[in-house]
Amino acid sequence: MSENSSTDMYLFKKSLKELKGKRGKGTELISVYVPAGRRLSDISQHLRQELSQSSNIKSKTTMKNVQSAIEVILQRLKLLKEPLEKGVIIFAGMIPRGGPGTEKMEVYVLEPPEPVKTFIYRCDSEFYTESLEDFIQDTEVYGVILVDRNEATIGTVKGKTITVLKKLTSGVPGKFKAGGQSARRLERLIDDAAHQFMVRIGEYSTESFMPILEEKKLRGLLIGGPGNTKNEFAEKDFLHHELKKKIIDTFDLCYTEEFGIRELLEKASDLLRDLDLMKEKNLIQKFFKELIKDDGGLSAYGESQVMRYLEMGAIDTLIVTEDIELTRVTIKCNNCNFKQEINVKTRDLYKFEDEVKTKICKQCSGSMYIEEEKDIIEYLSELCNIHNSDIVVVSTDTEEGSQISKAFKGMAAILRYKI
């Protein structure tokens, strides 16, 4: 099975969230960004220089912690194999778990979704994560222009996010009852006002979309609205000529505000199959079609059922919401090596770690310890690889994703065969 981008991006976002919450006791947390193609020996040499200079730090505790973090990073660099196509990002430092004396060395090695461009070494009281934010932005954007004679909405669809950039009203008069020359004069005034409104929409569209086009991130323009106004806008020269080339299609709509953007996405779904929003929606709708069958069809849901069917190899596609807060913990006996795997709510992890210290082995009454902790989605992804199943991590920003989260506690699946 090919690498699953939704899982990779989820894990990257989760690591970023964790890193942003870490704080050191002093200026002693180390962040290192290694660019793609950079020789690791050069990076190691720079770190050894930093290690030497750290002896000038006045606080002995801070000096020791900085040196320990640099040495950990040097050790991790030795384990990496060149060339690094995208580079690598390493964070290390002593993180307090509670009061004084609870500090523990933590190290994170991240493979970025996109190549690292610049070498960065940073020592601070927090990890340097600003550059990571750029990696989690969806690169492709669709521009949306909804227009009729009275109002217009200009917006973008980027991944799963709909953003309204501008709302315009025309001020074009409505119908009138005058006749003769008055009627013709009013008609000209209305036509002029409508033309000027189109010009304004074109100007705001150019202002909104040209910077995105110049960054080569504008995948296309979708134009919609009731009546013929949208076609007139698309066909005439109201848009910048480079933007006109990006028009994908026009769509008949009932609305011209944000709800109209959602209506447009529905109608444009065949054209936008690759857009995350549509892929997730179609997949979840497929699950619900199975679920509502009298016998439940090829659906499975809930932690217990999904885990069981996945281990059987019966799942074709696993759907997991990104807000699921579970950690797969493996505990092991110190004496007889008996193992047990448990899903623990991530917020209860520290409490569970304390409980394990007093746990007794079921087989020999020996003491237990935690052998491994793994994010549940990472664990499920590994199981899916073993059984050649697909896994899709979905957002809860959509109505469908929110339903999976609330009704099925974040886990649902489409089966290969009826069980």
CATH code (residue 113): 3.30.960.10
Is the pLDDT score of 64 beyond 60? yes
Structural domain span for residue 263: 141-176+192-274
The per-residue pLDDT for 270 is: 73
Is the pLDDT score of 77 beyond 50? yes
333 confidence band (pLDDT: 50, 70, 90): very high
Is there a single domain that holds both residue 209 and residue 318? Answer: no
- For residue 241, what is the domain's CATH number? 3.30.420.60
Is there a single domain that holds both residue 112 and residue 157? Answer: no
Is there a single domain that holds both residue 171 and residue 222? Answer: yes
Q: Let me know: does 119 contact 140? Beta carbons within 8 Å.
A: no
Mean pLDDT of 192-216: 92
Is the pLDDT score of 176 beyond 60? no
The per-residue pLDDT for 5 is: 67
Residue 57 domain-assigned (yes or no)? yes
Residue 249 domain-assigned (yes or no)? yes
Of 85-94, 256-265, 289-298, 307-316, the one with minimum mean pLDDT is 256-265
Is there a single domain that holds both residue 256 and residue 334? Answer: no
326 confidence band (pLDDT: 50, 70, 90): very high
- For residue 328, what is the domain's CATH number? 3.30.1330.30
Q: Let me know: does 231 contact 151? Beta carbons within 8 Å.
A: no
| Boundary (domain end) residue, out of 252, 274, 296 | 274
Residue 116 domain-assigned (yes or no)? yes
1 confidence band (pLDDT: 50, 70, 90): very low
Residue 50 domain-assigned (yes or no)? yes
11 confidence band (pLDDT: 50, 70, 90): confident
Is the pLDDT score of 115 beyond 50? yes
Is there a single domain that holds both residue 124 and residue 148? Answer: no
Query: How remote is the C-alpha of 96 from its chain's centroid?
Result: 28
| Boundary (domain end) residue, out of 274, 291, 320 | 274
257 or 342, which is more confident? Answer: 342
The per-residue pLDDT for 179 is: 54
Is there a single domain that holds both residue 292 and residue 418? Answer: yes
Q: What is the pLDDT of residues 157-172, one digit of tens each?
A: 887 778 899 999 987 6
304 or 101, which is more confident? Answer: 304
Residue 48 domain-assigned (yes or no)? yes
Is there a single domain that holds both residue 60 and residue 99? Answer: yes
3 confidence band (pLDDT: 50, 70, 90): very low
Is there a single domain that holds both residue 317 and residue 419? Answer: yes
Q: What percent of the chain has pLDDT over 70?
A: 94
111 confidence band (pLDDT: 50, 70, 90): confident
Q: Let me know: does 59 contact 83? Beta carbons within 8 Å.
A: no
The rounded distance, in Å, linking the Cα atoms of 406 and 398 is: 12
Is the pLDDT score of 139 beyond 70? no
Is there a single domain that holds both residue 261 and residue 146? Answer: yes
Residue 12 domain-assigned (yes or no)? no
274 confidence band (pLDDT: 50, 70, 90): low
Whole-prediction pTM: 0.64
Is there a single domain that holds both residue 117 and residue 167? Answer: no
Number of domains in the chain: 3
Is there a single domain that holds both residue 131 and residue 95? Answer: yes
The per-residue pLDDT for 178 is: 52
Residue 239 domain-assigned (yes or no)? yes
Mean pLDDT of 133-149: 81
Q: What percent of the chain has pLDDT over 90?
A: 65
Is the pLDDT score of 120 beyond 70? yes
Residue 158 domain-assigned (yes or no)? yes
286 confidence band (pLDDT: 50, 70, 90): very high
Is there a single domain that holds both residue 270 and residue 283? Answer: no
Is the pLDDT score of 328 beyond 80? yes
Q: Please, what is the average pLDDT of the chain?
A: 89
